[in-house]
Amino acid sequence: MRKLVKDPLLQFMLIGFLFYGVFTLFAPESQQANDPTIITINDEALLRHLQAQDKVFDRTSATKTLAALDTESRTRLEDEFIRDEIMVREAIKLGFDQDDEVIRGRLIQKMDFIMQGFAATDNTVTEPELLTFFARHKQDYRREAEATFTHVFFSTKTRTLAEATSAASELLTTLNQTSVPFEKAGEYGERFYFLRNYVKRPKRLISDHFGPEMTADIFTQTANGKWAGPLLSQYGVHLVMVRTITPERDPDMAEVADQILANIRRANSDKARAKALQKLMEKYTIERTANAIELGQTP
C-alpha cells in the first residue's frame, strides 16, 4: 500500500482528480460570469443604467430613488435594463462596435473623463502663484473700453441720407433746447435694429452694432448731458447722449482674482492629464508602416 502511495503516477492522478473536483465545484459560478447569455441584475447594474440615461447624475439621489421604487416600477426599470443589455450584446456579436467613429468618440470621452479623475491635483493656489500668473498673462485680463449712451435713430431705408441728416439736425436743436433727458430718448426718432440704450457696453459690441467709424465718434464724445450728432452708421443717422466713457485699462488683480484662480487650476489639470496620458503612451509601441492607399486609388 505504501508503495502505491509513493507511486509518482498515482500521485499525479490524485492531484488531477483533486483539481477536477475543485473545478467542478466552482465552475458553474465562473461559467456564469463569462456566459454572454446570462444577464445579472442588481442595484449596481441598475444604477449604471440610470447613469447612462441622465446627463446630470447624482449617485446619492439615484440610490435613494432606486430604493424607493415600488415593485411595479422596479420591474419596469429591470425590463428596460434587460432590453438594453440584450441589444448591446447582440450588437457587439454582430461587430457593430468595430470601426464606428461615434462609439470611438464616446469611448474617448469616457477615458478622458476617467483621466480627469486620476489627474486630480491639489486645488490649493498660493498668493505668490496668483501674482506670478497675473504678471505673466496680464494682457489677457485687460478691460475693454466701455460706454454708456442712448441714441435717437433716423433710418436711411425710407429716406435719403440728406433727408435723414436734415431731420436729425433739426431735432438736435429741439432736444438740447428742451433738455430732453437720457430716459426720454425712446420718445423720439425711429426703432433701431438693436438697442436704444447701451449701458456699460464694450467697444467691440458697439462696433458690431454701429460700425467702427461711428463707434470711434461715440468714444470721442464728452459726457456732459448734451445731445450730439448727427453721427452716421451703416443703417442711418443718429443723435447720441453719452453718459459715461470708460477707457481700456489694466484691472487690479483683485478684480480678476477668481478668473485667474480658475485659469491656474485649469492649467494645472491640463498638465496633470497630459502627464497621465504620457504614462499610458509608454505602455504602447507605435509602429508606422507605408501608406497602403495611393493618391487617386480607392481602398
Phi-psi category of 25—alpha, beta or left, where left has phi over 0 and alpha has psi -120 to 50?
A: alpha
Q: Which residues contact 75 (CB under 8 A, 6 or more apart)?
A: none
CA 139 remoteness from chain centre? 24
- Residue 230 three-state SS: strand
Cα–Cα distance measured from residue 11 to residue 17, given in angstroms and rounded to the nearest whole number: 10
Cα–Cα distance measured from residue 78 to residue 162, given in angstroms and rounded to the nearest whole number: 76
Q: What is the pLDDT along the chain (299 residues), one digit of tens a residue?
A: 455 445 554 444 444 444 444 344 444 444 445 677 788 888 888 887 777 766 555 778 888 888 888 989 888 988 888 888 888 888 777 777 777 788 777 777 777 776 666 555 556 788 888 888 888 888 888 889 999 999 999 999 989 999 999 999 999 999 999 999 999 999 999 999 999 999 999 999 999 999 999 999 999 998 899 999 899 999 999 999 999 999 998 888 888 888 888 888 888 888 888 888 788 778 877 676 665 545 444 44
Q: How confident is the model at residue 279, as a pLDDT?
A: 81
Q: Which three cell numbers stand for residue 260?
A: 485667474
pTM of the model: 0.52
Q: Which three cell numbers stand for residue 29?
A: 459560478
Give Cα separations from 81 to 44, 51, 165 (angstroms). 12, 12, 71
Cα–Cα distance measured from residue 150 to residue 210, given in angstroms and rounded to the nearest whole number: 13
Query: Other CB atoms closer than 10 Å to residue 42's CB: what's the count?
Result: 7
Helix 127-136 crosses helix 257-281 at what angle (to 10 degrees)?
90
Phi-psi category of 211—alpha, beta or left, where left has phi over 0 and alpha has psi -120 to 50?
A: left
Q: Which three cell numbers stand for residue 78?
A: 429591470
- The CATH number that domain 143-246 falls under is 3.10.50.40
Q: How confident is the model at residue 146, as a pLDDT?
A: 95
Cα–Cα distance measured from residue 75 to residue 53, given in angstroms and rounded to the nearest whole number: 17
Q: How confident is the model at residue 14, as a pLDDT?
A: 43
CA 10 remoteness from chain centre? 69
Nearest to 240 by CA among 223, 262, 253, 263: 223
Which amino acid appears at position 195 of this protein? L
Q: In sequence order, what DSSP letters do the residues of 245-273 get, joined into one string?
A: EE--BPPPGGGGHHHHHHHHHHHHHHHHH
